[in-house]
Amino acid sequence: MRPLTIAEYEAIARARLHSAVWDYYSAGADDEVTLRENRAAFKRIRLRPRALASVGDVDLRTTLLGAEVSMPIGVAPTAIHGAACDEGECATAQAAGALNALMIASTESTRPLEEVAQSASGPLWFQLYFSQQTHALAERLVRRAEAAGYRALVVTVDSPRWGRKERSIRSEASYDWPPSGNFADEADEADEVADDDEGQDDAAAITWDDIAWLQSITSLPIVLKGILTAEDAARAVAQGVAGIVVSNHGGRQLDGVMPTIEALPEVVAAVAGRCEVYLDGGVRRGADALKALALGARAVFVGRPILWGLAADGAAGAQHTLELLRDELALTMTLAGRPTLASLDASLIQCLG
Ligand SMILES: Cc1cc2nc3c(=O)[nH]c(=O)nc-3n(C[C@H](O)[C@H](O)[C@H](O)COP(=O)(O)O)c2cc1C
């Protein structure tokens, strides 16, 4: 029997994966308060459906920075897909491509970004990690991403240091992790090793100046991932970014920050339509996506569900997780009497308190 829900994929993945891989994929930082809250906050939100609307067929097609996609649900960048299935990120790209959904490929993938692009038939964005010491390495990655056809750069801005994923710290040494896919080149390896030797803790974390530097070396649109406040959203827009992902890294960085669905309204208000706003963190149901879209997100991205799908059934499993979310979103829109993306707005959400 094929799984019926994302939660069923989670249970299969948990049973199949090496415990160290499960811990790494599932962990949040510290007490995992934000990890849990990402889910709980979605469940607290109540919907205000409209009756007797003309619902007909639901059309989920939209554009993300100009790229046409079949649905406002895409793949968040997550590291090390090769620990979930042998084909790693190539399987993920195949899955997203089969549905013409957007995939954001991580710097920390186990397949080179060029191979991921060759496996893709849908739009791809490239997620970039860098520090002040690794501009040269970042520039090489940007050139490679440009040449391979990636359409935007997603800079993760919530990770000046790594959060402490305590469950994963305990178990990570018990697994033989697949090597990085993007740093096989000698110069890049040297840069990465230099960065590692100093340790991320000694590397100077990027600031707004480094975003300006990135803008000066590429014409690809830049998306900042990990913005949670109106202040930072306003600053990002002033600096000319093309998009913002409201994200707390799936609860893996600063524990105790607000769940993303609660941060979304202030970011949307501060941006006021001047760039695209997306959300990730805890999306496990079509209704979660619906709530984020109603509160102003243009799309949502899923992290762990894709890893669970890969672990359960490779590319087919990852594709099916996206299909489940897509079909649930279409059904909830129909039941809510809001059959088009354009008809989703905050009046669908009941204000509590
Ligand atoms: C195992 C794992 C690895 C991740 N690796 C990255 C990464 O390499 N780069 C990045 O920007 N975010 C990374 N993230 C964060 C995701 O992009 C995303 O913000 C988060 O997973 C969304 O929450 P969800 O897993 O609840 O859907 C990772 C998350 C997980 C669970």
pLDDT at residue 54, as a whole number: 86
Which tens digit of pLDDT belongs to each residue from 109-151? 999 999 999 999 999 999 999 999 999 999 999 999 999 999 9
Residue 17, judged by CB atoms within 10 A of its CB (0-12, 13-18, 19+), counts as buried
Residues 59, 38: Cα–Cα separation, whole Å? 27
* Pocket test residue of 78, 92, 321 for ligand 1, highest count of atoms within 8 A of CB: 78
Q: Write the DSSP symbol of residue 221.
A: -
Q: Is 118 helix (H, G, I), strand (E, B) or coil?
A: helix
**Longest alpha-carbon distance in the chain:** 63
| Span from the CA of 92 to the centroid of ligand 1 (angstroms) | 14
- Which residues does 243 contact at the CB level (< 8 Å), separation at least 6? 64, 65, 152, 221, 222, 223, 224, 275, 276, 277, 278
Closest-lying ligand 1 atom to the alpha carbon of residue 280: 22
Where is 225: in which H helix or E strand?
A: strand 222-227
Residues 43, 146: Cα–Cα separation, whole Å? 40
Closest-lying ligand 1 atom to the alpha carbon of residue 282: 26
Closest-lying ligand 1 atom to the alpha carbon of residue 247: 19
Beta-carbon count within 10 A of 290 CB: 27
| Span from the CA of 55 to the centroid of ligand 1 (angstroms) | 35
Query: Would the pLDDT of 185 be above 80?
Result: no
Confidence of residue 222 (pLDDT cuts 50, 70, 90): very high
Closest CA to 260 of 73, 42, 105, 44: 42
Q: Residue 249 catalytic?
A: yes
For 129-144, give one letter per residue: b (16+ CB within 10 A) or e: bbbeebbebbebbbeb
| Span from the CA of 248 to the centroid of ligand 1 (angstroms) | 9
Sign of CA dihedral 132, 251, 196, 155: negative
Q: Is 295 helix (H, G, I), strand (E, B) or coil?
A: coil
- According to DSSP, the residues that pair with 349 across neighbouring strands are 47
- According to DSSP, the residues that pair with 246 across neighbouring strands are 227, 279
pLDDT at residue 121, as a whole number: 97
Which tens digit of pLDDT belongs to each residue from 340-349? 999 999 999 9
Cα radius of gyration (the chain) = 19
Which tens digit of pLDDT belongs to each residue from 13-63? 999 999 999 999 999 999 999 999 999 999 999 999 999 998 888 999 999
pLDDT at residue 197, as a whole number: 59
What value does the mean pLDDT of the chain take? 95
Alpha helices in 149-283 (DSSP H): 166-171, 186-198, 208-217, 230-238, 260-271
**Pair type for strands 276-280 and 73-75:** unpaired
Confidence of residue 184 (pLDDT cuts 50, 70, 90): confident
* CB-CB contact of 104 with 133 (8 Å): no
Closest-lying ligand 1 atom to the alpha carbon of residue 251: 23
Which tens digit of pLDDT belongs to each residue from 238-279? 999 999 999 999 999 999 999 999 999 999 999 999 999 999
The residue whose CA is least distant from atom 6 of ligand 1 is 78
Confidence of residue 167 (pLDDT cuts 50, 70, 90): very high
* Pocket test residue of 252, 308, 310 for ligand 1, highest count of atoms within 8 A of CB: 252
- Which CA distances in Å does 38 have to 3, 82, 91? 23, 26, 27
Q: Which residues line ligand 1 (CB under 6 A)?
A: 24-25, 38, 76-79, 106, 108, 127, 156, 225, 247, 249-250, 252, 280-283, 302-304
Amino acid at 315: A
Write down all domains in the chain, each with its CATH number in brackets. 6-44+62-334 (3.20.20.70)
- Which residues does 1 contact at the CB level (< 8 Å), separation at least 6? none
51 or 190, higher pLDDT: 51
Q: Write the DSSP symbol of residue 13.
A: H
Q: Which entry of 81, 135, 249, 320 is annotated as an active-site residue?
A: 249
Query: Would the pLDDT of 193 be above 90?
Result: no
Which tens digit of pLDDT belongs to each residue from 65-87? 999 999 999 999 999 999 999 99
The pTM score is: 0.97
| Span from the CA of 49 to the centroid of ligand 1 (angstroms) | 32
pLDDT at residue 192, as a whole number: 72
| Span from the CA of 305 to the centroid of ligand 1 (angstroms) | 10
Where is 320: in which H helix or E strand?
A: helix 304-335
Query: Would the pLDDT of 188 be above 90?
Result: no
Closest CA to 86 of 182, 184, 181: 181
Which tens digit of pLDDT belongs to each residue from 278-311? 999 999 999 999 999 999 999 999 999 999 999 9
Closest-lying ligand 1 atom to the alpha carbon of residue 284: 27
* Pocket test residue of 249, 280, 300, 322 for ligand 1, highest count of atoms within 8 A of CB: 249
pLDDT at residue 194, as a whole number: 64
Query: Would the pLDDT of 321 be above 70?
Result: yes
| Span from the CA of 97 to the centroid of ligand 1 (angstroms) | 20
